[in-house]
C-alpha cells in the first residue's frame, strides 16, 4: 500500500534527557497520515520515550514534536489525547465493565448518541472476528488474553482517533495469539486507514506489519526505510544483526507451519526421526 505523503507527526531535533542520560537524542522523523510505522530496537533504546512524546506523556528536553503541523506543547492536552489511541502490553480493560461498555468509553465521553455508539461497537467487533451477539455482554475475565487485547485495540480506535500508538502490544501473548493479533492490526490498518505507530523489539514483527521501519539504538534513530529496503540495504552491522535474529525466528515458525500440514502418520514419522536423532546424539 502506498501511503499518502501528508505529514501527521514530525519530530524536529528532539532529545529527551533524564539527568545526564539521553533517552532520545536529536531525533528527526516524519510519520505520514495513513502510514503503519514501526519503531524497532532493543530494550532501553528509546522507543517508548519516543512514542510517549507523541501523546504528551513525556515532554522533550530539546526540540519539538508536531501534530498536524502544530507543536504538541501548544495543544490542550485532553482534546489532543482524545484524538490519540494508546495500547500497551498490559491489557487495561475495566474489569467491572462489559466488552461493549469498555469499547464505547471514549465515544461516550465525546458525546456520541446511543444508536451511533451501538453501531460502532457492532462494526468493530465484527471487524476483528468477535461476533457481537456473543461478546458484547461478556466481562474481561470471560475472554482469553488475545481476545482481551483485541477489545483493548477496539477501545483505542472506537472514537476514530487520528493516530493509534501501540507499545509492544503483543509481547505478553503466546505465539499463536500473537500471530493472530498481527493479522487483526494489519486488517484494521487496511480497512480503516488508521495511522499507526507501533513499537516492538521484534524485527520479524516489524517486517510483517510496517509500511516503514525506524531502527533505534541508544536513543538514536539508525535507519528509516521500507521493510524491503532495510533488508536489502541495512545501514550497519547492528541493523543487519536484527535481521539474522528475525530470520531464525522465521525459520522456526516455518518448521512449525510445515509440521502442522502433515497427516498423523507423517507427524509420527517426524517425531520418531527427531527422537532417534536425540538418542543418537546423547
Ligand X SMILES: Nc1ncnc2c1ncn2[C@@H]1O[C@H](COP(=O)(O)OP(=O)(O)O)[C@@H](O)[C@H]1O
Residues at the site binding ligand X, with contacts judged by CB under 6 A: 18, 23, 41, 43-49
Nearer to Mg ion, 48 or 58 (CB): 48
Least separation, in Å, of the C-beta of 204 and Mg ion? 18
Least separation, in Å, of the C-beta of 240 and ligand X? 19
Nearer to ligand X, 47 or 212 (CB): 47
Dist CA 79 CA 221 (whole Å): 29
For Mg ion, how many residues bind (rule: CB under 5 A)?
1
| Kind plus residue range of the DSSP H or E element containing 115 | helix 114-127
Selection from Mg ion, ligand X, none that 148 binds (CB < 5 to 8 A by kind) is none
From the list 275, 251, 219, the residue with the least C-alpha distance to 18 is 219
Give how far Cα 246 sits from Cα of 173, 188, 201, 237, Å. Answer: 18, 24, 10, 14
Nearer to Mg ion, 48 or 101 (CB): 48
Give the three cell numbers for residue 124: 468493530
Selection from Mg ion, ligand X, none that 195 binds (CB < 5 to 8 A by kind) is none
Selection from Mg ion, ligand X, none that 128 binds (CB < 5 to 8 A by kind) is none
Selection from ligand X, Mg ion, none that 43 binds (CB < 5 to 8 A by kind) is ligand X
Selection from Mg ion, ligand X, none that 41 binds (CB < 5 to 8 A by kind) is ligand X
Residue found by looking up cell 477501545 in the block: 155
Selection from Mg ion, ligand X, none that 45 binds (CB < 5 to 8 A by kind) is ligand X
Crossing angle of helices 145-157 and 114-127, in 10° steps, is 130
Q: Applying CB under 5 A, which of residues 45, 48, 184, 217 lies at the interface with Mg ion?
A: 48
Give how far Cα 79 sits from Cα of 18, 55, 76, 84, Å. Answer: 28, 11, 6, 9
Q: Which stretch binds Mg ion (CB under 5 A): 27-35, 43-51, 128-136, 179-187?
A: 43-51
Dist CA 227 CA 10 (whole Å): 21
Give the three cell numbers for residue 150: 483485541
Coil, strand or helix: which one is 28? strand
Q: Are the C-beta atoms of residues 136 and 147 closer than 8 Å to each other?
A: no
Please state, as a whole number, how many other Cβ atoms lie within 10 Å of the Cβ of residue 183: 13
Supply φ then ψ for residue 32, to 5 degrees.
-95, 155
Nearer to ligand X, 64 or 89 (CB): 89
Nearer to ligand X, 48 or 149 (CB): 48
Selection from Mg ion, ligand X, none that 49 binds (CB < 5 to 8 A by kind) is ligand X
For 202, which DSSP code? -
Residue found by looking up cell 483493548 in the block: 152
Q: Which stretch binds Mg ion (CB under 5 A): 42-50, 141-149, 216-224, 245-253?
A: 42-50
Nearer to ligand X, 46 or 146 (CB): 46
Q: Which residue is closest to Mg ion by CB?
A: 48
Nearer to Mg ion, 46 or 85 (CB): 46
Q: Does 200 bind Mg ion (CB under 5 A)?
A: no
Binding site for Mg ion (CB under 5 A): 48
Amino acid at each position: 500500500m502506498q501511503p499518502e505523503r501528508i505529514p501527521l507527526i514530525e519530530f524536529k531535533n528532539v532529545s529527551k534527557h533524564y539527568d545526564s542520560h539521553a533517552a532520545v537524542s536529536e531525533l528527526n522523523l516524519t510519520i505520514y497520515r495513513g502510514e503503519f510505522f514501526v519503531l524497532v530496537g532493543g530494550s532501553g533504546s528509546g522507543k517508548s520515550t519516543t512514542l510517549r512524546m507523541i501523546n504528551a506523556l513525556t515532554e522533550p528536553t530539546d526540540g519539538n514534536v508536531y501534530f498536524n503541523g502544530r507543536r504538541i506543547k501548544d495543544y490542550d492536552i485532553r482534546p489532543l489525547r482524545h484524538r490519540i489511541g494508546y495500547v500497551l502490553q498490559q491489557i487495561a480493560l475495566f474489569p467491572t465493565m462489559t466488552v461493549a461498555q469498555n469499547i464505547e468509553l471514549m465515544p461516550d465521553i465525546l458525546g456520541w448518541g446511543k444508536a451511533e455508539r451501538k453501531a460502532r461497537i457492532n462494526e468493530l467487533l465484527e471487524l476483528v472476528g468477535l461476533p457481537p451477539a456473543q461478546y458484547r455482554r461478556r466481562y474481561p475475565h470471560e475472554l482469553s488474553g488475545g481476545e482481551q487485547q483485541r477489545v483493548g485495540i477496539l477501545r483505542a480506535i472506537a472514537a476514530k482517533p487520528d493516530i493509534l500508538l501501540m507499545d509492544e502490544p503483543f509481547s505478553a501473548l503466546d505465539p499463536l495469539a500473537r500471530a493472530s493479533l498481527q493479522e487483526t492490526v494489519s486488517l484494521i490498518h487496511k480497512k480503516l486507514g488508521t495511522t499507526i505507530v507501533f513499537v516492538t523489539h521484534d524485527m520479524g514483527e516489524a517486517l510483517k506489519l510496517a509500511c516503514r521501519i525506524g531502527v533505534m539504538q541508544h536513543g538514536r534513530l539508525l535507519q528509516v526505510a521500507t521493510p524491503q529496503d532495510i533488508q536489502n540495504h541495512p545501514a550497519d552491522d547492528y541493523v543487519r544483526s536484527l535481521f539474522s535474529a528475525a530470520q531464525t525466528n522465521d525459520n522456526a515458525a516455518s518448521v512449525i507451519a510445515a509440521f502442522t500440514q502433515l497427516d498423523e502418520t507423517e507427524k509420527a514419522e517426524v517425531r520418531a526421526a527427531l527422537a532417534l536423532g536425540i538418542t543418537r546424539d546423547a
